[in-house]
Every structure is written in structure tokens, then in C-alpha cells.
Amino acid sequence: MKDIIDAPKSSLKFRDPLLTADGQTRATVPLSNPETLWFNTGTLCNITCINCYIESSPSNDRLVYLTVEEVNNYLDQIEERKWPIREIGFTGGEPFMNPQMVAMTRTCLDRGFDVLILTNAMRPMMRKTVQNGLLEIPTEQREKLIFRISLDHWSQSAHDEIRGKGAFDRTIEGMKWLRDNGFHLAAAGRTIWGETDTETRDGYRALYAKHSFDIDADNPGMTVLFPEMDETVEVPEITTACWGILDKSPRDVMCSSSRMVVKRKGADHPTVLACTLLPYDEQFEMGRTLEEAERDVALNHPHCSKFCVLGGASCSG
């Protein structure tokens, strides 16, 4: 007990879901307008990136592959709960490592949802079986499908610094295949090189022009720039008073409009999480069903403060 009492206040942050370290009421976010349901298709990935927030790699199977049947179950729950979901998002790992990825995409499109797939557009997506499956998607449904490509930087050298030698060229190859076959593209980069927002977007603009990629470099929903998510950086806790101080609303935070479904290794069923950025923190696990996931979310993690409230970021478009 003495160690806790004598500890600096910063070390006491984000411990109590109800109160901040200085005893103020912690901010919470209700699910006010569910727009996006995310599915993590599994944490396995074909590459290992520096500082991957979910630690995806060729060996990380902490989150295992979801199936079409499991996805369909949650689509049924959307209808039962009358959630106004417009978009289904798929993330990983690398989604196309999952052998049922194309089938899951098709079932979501068949049921009328917009679909967003986060992919590195490398070898898993470029396998012939996957390509053939994607090409079978009707033209009218492709209008509701977007591939957001992980393109950490507009330059080959910086991108490969994160993802490994040759990664940039393989990703560009995948993007060209998607372009040539009439699929819509977006991109996601990082902001860790000390560039201004203008410099970064100018770099992406030049890259898009070079390869005739129809991506808007100035639209933050089409060229998404993510800050580094370092949990060791000192950040303030968000109290109920912060909404007025910051002139923000709980509706501005990602967990007011989205949830994520994952399946943990060894589990006999998927579970619903409050946030796409916190797949391993048990306090953000909300239950097996969407009904259970309708409760409020306490902003009890540094990412809640730095990334979502202060940074204003969102994984959706």
C-alpha cells in the first residue's frame, strides 16, 4: 500500500475506470450512433512491422481466424438490435491471410453494407485464388468496397524502414492490380518522420499521380495519417469536465460509433470489444453479443486520451 501512496501521480493514471488519479470523475462514452462494426480476421500477418500496435506477425495467433458463419451471426444481431450500421470494417493482422476473407466480404456486400478492408496489398491478397474471388464480386458491389492500403510513408525508404526491404514495391504492385481491376483505394500512413501535414500529403499526392491512383491526398478519410501509439508517453486523463474545456462531445470519439469483434485463441466463441486499438486489454471486452456491447465505455487508457480525444483520430473513413 505504501508503494502506491508514495508513487508519482502519473503512475496512478488509468487504473480506476470510474475515477482519474486526482479523484475526478472519468469521462465515459455511450454508444450513441453505431455506424461501423469491425471484424478482426486474426492477428497473423505475412510481415512483422516495427511498432505494430497489435503486434501482428507470421507467428502471432493470439486472435484467431473468424469464419463466415461467425460474421453472419453478428450481421443478424445488427438487424435484431436495429443498429444503424452502414459499414463493415475488416482488419488484422493481414485480413487476406484468413482463407475465408473473400467469402466474408461477399456476405457483407450481399447484405447491403459498405465494406472497408485494411490490407498491405502484398502476397496474401495477390494469390490467384484471392484475386479470382475478388474479381467475381459484381461491378455494382465494388462501388461499396474500399481497400485501405497500409502505406506507412510516401517514400520507399521510409516505408521499408518500417515493413522490411522490398515491402514498398510489393504493396505498389498490389495497388496497381486493384486499380486496374476497378477497385476503390484509400491509404493509411504514419506521422513519425517529423514532416508537417502539408509535406506528408504533398508526398502522397505525388505518389498517387505517378501511379494514377485515384486517392484524395487531402481528404483525411482517404489518406489517413495515424500518430504513433506509444503507451509510455505522458498524457492527461479525460474527465467529464474535459468535454466542455476541449469543446468536444462524446459523440466525437470512435467508441461512440463502433465496436470490434475478435476471437481469442482457445475461445469457443468471438467476443465484442469497445475499441479497435485495444485488442488485448480485458477491461475493454464487453461480452459475446452486440446487446452486451451497448453499455458505456470508460476512457481508461492512454490511447483514449492521446489518440481519440486529443488526436481526434478514427479508424473508419
Assess whether pLDDT exceeds 50 at residue 2. Answer: no
The model's pLDDT over 58-86, given as tens digits with 9 standing for 90+, comes to 999 999 999 999 999 999 999 999 999 99
> Please, which residues bridge with residue 258 across strands?
36
Secondary structure string (H, E, C) spanning 250-270: HHHCHHHCEEEEECECCCCCC
Residues 133-161: pLDDT tens digits? 999 999 999 999 999 999 999 999 999 99
Predicted pLDDT at 313: 52
For residue range 28-58, list pLDDT tens digits in order. Answer: 999 999 999 999 999 999 999 998 889 999 9
Whether residue 228 has pLDDT greater than 80: no
Mean pLDDT, rounded, for 288-317: 84
Task: List C-alpha distances in Å: 163 to 48, 122, 125, 281.
Answer: 7, 11, 16, 25
Task: Reply yes or no on whether the pLDDT at 211 is more than 90.
Answer: yes
* Secondary structure (3-state) at 227: coil
Size (the chain), residues: 317
CATH code for the part of the protein at 33-309: 3.20.20.70
Residue 134, C-alpha cell as written in the block: 475478388
Give the separation between CA 116 and CA 214, rounded to whole angstroms: 16
Percent of the chain having pLDDT more than 90?
A: 86
In degrees, rounded to 5, the angle at the alpha carbon of residue 97 between the alpha carbons of residues 176 and 256 is 90
DSSP 290-314: TTGGGS-EE--SHHIIIIIIIS---
Question: Of all helices (H) and strands (E), which one includes residue 149?
Answer: strand 145-150
159: Cα separation from own chain's centroid: 19
For residue 308, what pLDDT is reported?
87
What pLDDT shows up at residue 10? Answer: 53
CA dist list (Å): 204 to 42, 197, 216, 220: 29, 11, 9, 12
Structural contact between residues 149 and 121, judged by C-beta atoms closer than 8 angstroms: yes
Residue holding cell 458491389? 141
Write down the pTM of the prediction: 0.93
Q: For residue 230, what pLDDT band results from cuts at 50, 70 and 90?
A: low
pLDDT of residue 59: 97
**Which among 145, 150, 149 is positioned nearest to 53, based on CA atoms?**
150
Q: Residue 7's pLDDT band (boundaries 50, 70, 90)?
A: very low
Q: What average pLDDT score do residues 180-188 get? A: 98
Residue/partner pairs of 122-125 with CB below 8 Å, 24 or more apart: 122/46, 122/47, 122/94, 122/167, 122/170, 122/171, 122/174, 123/46, 123/170, 124/46, 124/94, 124/96, 124/97, 125/94, 125/96, 125/174
Query: What does the pLDDT look like over 260-301, one tens digit per residue?
Result: 999 999 999 999 999 998 999 999 999 999 999 999 999 999
More confident residue, 172 or 316: 172
